[in-house]
Amino acid sequence: MRVNEIFCSLQGEGVHSGEAAVFVRLSGCNLRCPFCDTQHEAGREMSEAEIVAAVEAWPARLVVVTGGEPALQLTASLVDALHRAGRRVAVETNGTRPLPDNVDWVTLSPKDPWLGPQAAPVLTRADELKLLFDGLHTPDPYSHIAVRHRCLQPVDTGDPARNARIVAQTVDYVLQHPEWRLSLQMHKILSIR
């Protein structure tokens, strides 16, 4: 697999926010989102055994496989190997490709509101739906997808004044629609990876 980086930090977003996790960032993505803040194209080839060994260097029990788009490379055999190493495996995906069935937690972050129907998710279930909110568009609840948690995350535009307005609008939306919960990018607030 082509791996961009492996590192340990706190999960900064969504339901598992604040939990220690080892992040396995795979290289490449099938989408080109205008707001993407992740450098994921570079990387090196690693075997599944090398990935597991790198993960085992940290005590965190949660492994978050992300990207880019992890569904382009993630295999059931890597998930099995991480399970044998005593880890829970979470995946953060745009949902446009199927995932191995043995993943423990799926965070679906659809991008079709910005990129159109070609970016629509094909997944029919996820543990967590994490939508980016720009304050302009009403969040789609994706009611055709079975989800346990709905998280609304303000988009980071790079403009502090606009970001403050978007955060206020997101908070207001969640207060009016309690099926959603607020997700902040805690790692950015704390200035950690």
Q: Which residues are catalytic?
A: 23, 29, 33, 36-38, 92, 187
Residue 175: CB atoms within 10 A of its CB come to 10
Could you give the residue ranges of the DSSP H alpha helices within 17-159? 48-55, 76-84, 112-115
Identity of the amino acid at 127? D
- Are 109 and 14 spatial neighbours (Cβ–Cβ below 8 Å)? no
Phi, psi of 98 (to 5 degrees): -65, 155
Distance (Å, rounded) from C-alpha 97 to C-alpha 153?
22
The residue written with tokens 């978050």 in the block is: 64
Chain centroid offset of residue 166 CA? 20
